[in-house]
Amino acid sequence: MPRTIIEKLWDSHVVYERPGAPTLLHIDLHLVHEVTSPQAFQGLRERGLKVRRPDLTLATADHSIPTTDRSLPIVDEIAAKQLAQLEANCAEFGIRCLGIRSDWQGVVHIVGPELGLTQPGMTVVCGDSHTATHGAFGALAFGIGTSEVEQVLASQCLLQRQSKTFQVRVDGALKPGVAAKDIILALIARIGVGGGTGSVFEFTGGAIGALSMEERMTVCNMSIEGGARAGLIAPDDTTFQYLGGRPHAPKGAAWDAALARWKRLPTDEGATYDRSVTIDAGALEPMITYGTNPGMGLPVGAPLPDPARIADPLERESVTKALKYMGLEGGKPLLGHAIDVVFIGSCTNGRISDLRAAAGVLKGRKVSSKVRVLVVPGSQEVKRQAIAEGLPEIFRAAGCQWREPGCSMCIAMNGDQLAPGEYSVSTSNRNFEGRQGKGGRTFLASPLTAAASAITGVVTDVRTVL
């Protein structure tokens, strides 16, 4: 029977099944960070357990790490303790840790792929909901809670129930000024933040095939914002070219064997999905969110929704509450709204191509004197590449702050945050109330839109400054 790639990935990782219980699934790569792991390591200690497969586990410090000068001590004592705990736990349990002094430190979903650890056909988990990023390689990758982190550390397995298959077909070609980020924001605006619950997305179609690996990671990254357990893209030549030569990618005869295996992964002709939606890439505009969840998005030039026109009472209440929090009025446009901060970075848009896109807009220009702009590379490797290409000089000359790698203002745990009431245009993934700092207000957008808005100091359609 023809199968989707989602079903092939599932079938090839089943360890044990019995009626009335979820399936025991094997995990090929377990990524760990400082925030969701300490209680899991403590659990292992209390039970007297070891880490079963340290060779399939990798830790990095990203969430609470400062993005300022790393030669200085960490000011936040609680964060410093958490980061030290990660390194101590990894040393105790024999796990490789890309800590604050590592040349490969970075945001967990950026370092896995750049090291070549994320490969087609794998199952990848992490105590972080943006783990779907790794799905860009044709892997089944999903976020887990801390109890599950402990389970994987102890057994390299997880109890799972099979998800529904959900095809997101993106046909046509993106227009200039429209980015991968706009595809995923448009999808979530269409299906809502719960639209993919219980499902795994497979992104297909010509517009997806035309994306680079980094753009594919941006798309898969935000699958969780559409409620999906995971999101993935079948591997193709773009995938293989990206992987070839990376530190942990297979070499020689092992590469040839892996390639033959990977080429069998794409969805079979005639396989069916539980659900499908189609998006016309050519009709997409640059997207921006206006509200307090990622589903509250619209084309950058469109008027805000008017709560009076929403029939469902809970939905009306949600939009009313969101507009009130955001200090916005229904029916008015967002274009031209003043902003205070621009954040360029995160596991969604902190890769080298994102920095190149932003630098392309900012080169030879100045950011508005009213706007604080943070550019945060996703990893030490991204930082090295950016330096080699002269990007930090472009950002600094434009008046941006060039920072050290980490999650930074995406989650605002490390001191990089909005003040109450401040507005940001952010390339991150969540606009929840207080996500970028208590009382802060976030407009999510692509690096192009963020860079354009940094120049003007107001929400801007990038196509007017290109």
Partner 1 sequence: MKPFTDFQSRIVPLPLNNIDTDQIIPARFLKTTSKLGLDAQLFCDWRYDAQGNPNPDFVLNQPRSRGAQVLLAGDNFGCGSSREHAPWALTQFGFRAVVSTSFADIFRQNSLKNSLLPIAIPSDAHAELLAAVEADPGAEVAIDLPNQTLTLPGGRKVEFPVDEFSKHCLVNGVDELSYILQQEPAIAAFEAARPAAINTLG
CA distances from 80 to 43, 76, 435 (A): 21, 6, 21
Using CB under 8 A, which residues numbered 362 to 381 contact partner 1? none
Smallest separation (angstroms) from partner 1 to the CB of 436 = 10
Smallest separation (angstroms) from partner 1 to the CB of 429 = 10
Residue 259 in contact with partner 1, rule: CB under 8 A: no
Smallest separation (angstroms) from partner 1 to the CB of 130 = 9
Q: Which of 2, 145, 282, 303 binds partner 1 (CB under 8 A)?
A: 145
347: left (phi over 0), alpha (psi -120 to 50) or beta: alpha
Site string for partner 1, 320-359 (x = CB under 8 A): -x--------------------------------------
Closer of 154 and 335 to partner 1 (Cβ): 154
Q: How far is residue 141's CA from residue 29's CA, in Å, rounded to a whole number?
A: 9
Query: Sheet harboring 230-232: ordered strands across?
Result: 230-232, 199-204, 164-171, 275-280
Residue 235 in contact with partner 1, rule: CB under 8 A: no
Smallest separation (angstroms) from partner 1 to the CB of 159 = 6
Closer of 224 and 386 to partner 1 (Cβ): 224
Q: Which of 45, 91, 92, 161 binds partner 1 (CB under 8 A)?
A: 161
Among candidates 397, 395, 365, which has minimal Cα distance to 383?
395
Closer of 104 and 463 to partner 1 (Cβ): 104
Q: How far is residue 140's CA from residue 125's CA, in Å, rounded to a whole number?
A: 8
By the 8 A CB rule, do 267 and 234 touch?
yes
Q: How far is residue 159's CA from residue 359's CA, in Å, rounded to a whole number?
A: 44
Smallest separation (angstroms) from partner 1 to the CB of 280 = 27
Q: Which of 15, 91, 283, 387 binds partner 1 (CB under 8 A)?
A: 15
Q: How far is residue 251's CA from residue 122's CA, in Å, rounded to a whole number?
A: 17
Smallest separation (angstroms) from partner 1 to the CB of 283 = 26
Site string for partner 1, 22-61 (x = CB under 8 A): x-x-x-xx-----xx-xx--xx---x-----xxxxxx---
Count CA atoms within 13 Å of residue 281 on its CB side: 25
Residue 401 in contact with partner 1, rule: CB under 8 A: no
The amino acid sitting at 375 is V
Using CB under 8 A, which residues numbered 205 to 224 contact partner 1? 224
Closer of 150 and 461 to partner 1 (Cβ): 150
Beta bridge partners of 58: 31, 96
Using CB under 8 A, which residues numbered 267 to 326 contact partner 1? 293, 295, 314-315, 317-318, 321
Using CB under 8 A, which residues numbered 441 to 460 contact partner 1? none
Q: How far is residue 85's CA from residue 37's CA, in Å, rounded to a whole number?
A: 10
Residue 412 in contact with partner 1, rule: CB under 8 A: yes
| Number of residues this chain uses to bind partner 1 (CB under 8 A) | 83
298: left (phi over 0), alpha (psi -120 to 50) or beta: beta
CA dihedral 143, 442, 407, 150 (to 10 degrees): -30
Q: How far is residue 269's CA from residue 247's CA, in Å, rounded to a whole number?
A: 34
Q: Which of 110, 132, 157, 376 binds partner 1 (CB under 8 A)?
A: 157
By the 8 A CB rule, do 288 and 423 touch?
no
Smallest separation (angstroms) from partner 1 to the CB of 453 = 23
Select from 16-24, 267-275, 345-353, 361-369 the region that touches partner 1 (CB under 8 A).
Answer: 16-24
Q: How far is residue 134's CA from residue 220's CA, in Å, rounded to a whole number?
A: 7
Using CB under 8 A, which residues numbered 64 to 123 contact partner 1? 64, 76, 78-79, 81-82, 85, 94-96, 117, 119, 121-122
Q: Which of 62, 87, 114, 128 binds partner 1 (CB under 8 A)?
A: 128
Smallest separation (angstroms) from partner 1 to the CB of 353 = 24
Signed CA dihedral, 258, 261, 264, 265: sign only: negative
Kindly report the number of other CB atoms within 10 A of residue 228's CB atom: 29
Closer of 53 and 383 to partner 1 (Cβ): 53
Q: Which of 8, 337, 435, 441 binds partner 1 (CB under 8 A)?
A: 435
Smallest separation (angstroms) from partner 1 to the CB of 458 = 26
Q: How far is residue 446's CA from residue 35's CA, in Å, rounded to a whole number?
A: 27
Q: How far is residue 219's CA from residue 222's CA, in Å, rounded to a whole number?
A: 6
Residue 63 in contact with partner 1, rule: CB under 8 A: yes
Using CB under 8 A, which residues numbered 236 to 255 contact partner 1? 248, 250
Select from 166-174, 368-376, 386-394, 435-443 the region that touches partner 1 (CB under 8 A).
Answer: 435-443
Kindly report the number of other CB atoms within 10 A of residue 55's CB atom: 11
Q: How far is residue 93's CA from residue 222's CA, in Å, rounded to a whole number?
A: 32
Q: How far is residue 173's CA from residue 210's CA, in Å, rounded to a whole number?
A: 8
